[in-house]
Structure 1
Amino acid sequence: MMTGPERRSDIISRIKNSAVPVSGKALAQAYEVSRQVIVQDIALIRASGHDIISTNRGYILNAPNIASRTFKVQHTDDELENELCSIVDLGGRIVNVMINHRVYGHMEAVLNINSRRKVMEFMEDIKSGKSSPLKNITSNYHYHKVEAENEETLDLIEEMLIRKGFLIQN
């Protein structure tokens, strides 16, 4: 049985790789869920930053060519804002934060931070005590999936992460 996140990831792939629009009915049948579950999945997929368009024939993905890379990083809470601002200033979008915990396993949270304003909103949520950064349960080690318009931008982001001492190189 597929989990919700696995199904949504598969839906994105299915729509992206289809030459024709993919109907909600076809998706519901393929995953053996109701049409309403698919509508909710599409809403969550859109909220995570994917530009899915509904047509009278089905769903299509309006996907510009976007490059992505996952970076393993480590920094303190005091350096968090610096890390995020540095990435968005170079044209990156921080898609998520992920950790691999020895007990809890893989944990991931969607961020979708692509501007200093969104960095400030995120930092305000952290400072207000709503939550603490996920990295804090893994000695500051964590991963970010970062998207950008091209590989050159991701190279610049990687160089900056190295220069600032945030990037963990295996």
Structure 2
Amino acid sequence: MNGDERRKKIINILSSSKSPVAGVALAKELDVSRQVIVQDIALLRANGAAIFSTNRGYLIQADKQYSRVLKVVHEDDEVEEELSTIVDAGGHVKDVFVYHKVYGVIRANMDIKSRRDVRNYLEEIRTGKSSLLKNVTSGYHYHTICAESEEVLDAIQEELKQKGFLAKLQDYEPVDFWGDNEDEAKA
């Protein structure tokens, strides 16, 4: 195993561990000296890996991501405002899906993180022969929104609510996407 392969393996070991991993344990598992592990850790850090040393071993910082599914409704000419509201508030629009009474859930990845992504998406829709997925269900659709904190998700949800984009959950829908906020959302 060469150095690059070994460093990838170190990242995998640290990422999958819930507790610190001792340098000696890494050395034994990878069949190298502890000094080689120390050098590999230094190289990984120099390349941007967030590896921390503790008195019990090495830890890698996992990027914590929060997500929430929001049901929304709007007209075709409001798509840009809806998506821009989400990304401007720090959200990442992971996907769009609809719940159709006959066909069930129909989902498409979006991966929209910036206004540039919004513009590119709208241009693809405008120049293509496809229409918006929301039009299959009279404008009602869902987005999985990711953000760095629950507070950011709360802010996004509140902004969408203020703009009139949040939609009421219906009795036939299979999942309670609202959690504890269901009564407030249906009000």
TMscore range, shorter length:
0.5 to 0.7
**Alpha-carbon distance in structure 2 between the residues aligned to 1:96 and 1:83:** 14
For normalisation by structure 2, the TM-score amounts to 0.58
One-letter identity of the residue aligned with 1:19: S
Task: Return 93-102 or 61-70, whichever deviates more.
Answer: 61-70
One-letter identity of the residue aligned with 1:93: H
Shift of 1:131: 1.5
One-letter identity of the residue aligned with 1:82: E
One-letter identity of the residue aligned with 1:104: Y
One-letter identity of the residue aligned with 2:145: V
SS in 2 for 1:166: coil
Q: Counterpart in 2 of 1:19? A: 17
Shift of 1:74: 0.3
**Alpha-carbon distance in structure 2 between the residues aligned to 1:96 and 1:117:** 17
In the TM superposition, 1:110-129 aligns within 5 A as 110-129=109-128
In the TM superposition, 1:1-150 aligns within 5 A as 18-19=16-17, 63-150=62-149
Which aligned segments of 4 or more residues in structure 1 are displaced greater than 2 angstroms?
17-20
Shift of 1:103: 1.6
Gaps of 5+ in 2: 1-12, 19-59, 168-184
For normalisation by structure 1, the TM-score amounts to 0.63
**Alpha-carbon distance in structure 1 between the residues aligned to 2:62 and 2:107:** 23
**Alpha-carbon distance in structure 1 between the residues aligned to 2:61 and 2:141:** 30
**Alpha-carbon distance in structure 2 between the residues aligned to 1:161 and 1:112:** 19
**Identical residues among aligned pairs (%):** 50
CA gap of 1:76–1:152, structure 2 versus 1, over 3 A, is same
Q: Counterpart in 2 of 1:166? A: 165
SS in 1 for 2:164: coil
Q: Compute the RMSD of aligned alpha carbons.
A: 2.1
SS in 2 for 1:80: helix
Q: Give deviations 1:121-142, integer Å, cap 9, x for gaps.
A: 0000111134211000000000
Q: Give deviations 1:65-122, integer Å, cap 9, x for gaps.
A: 1111100000010000100011000000000001011121111000010000000000
Shift of 1:62: 7.9
Aligned residue pairs, count? 115
**Structure (1 or 2) with the larger CA radius of gyration:** 2
Q: Give deviations 1:5-54, integer Å, cap 9, x for gaps.
A: xxxxxxxxxx9x9439xxxxxxxxxxxxxxxxxxxxxxxxxxxxxxxxxx
Shift of 1:167: 0.5
One-letter identity of the residue aligned with 1:78: D
Shift of 1:154: 0.5
Q: Counterpart in 1 of 2:177? A: none
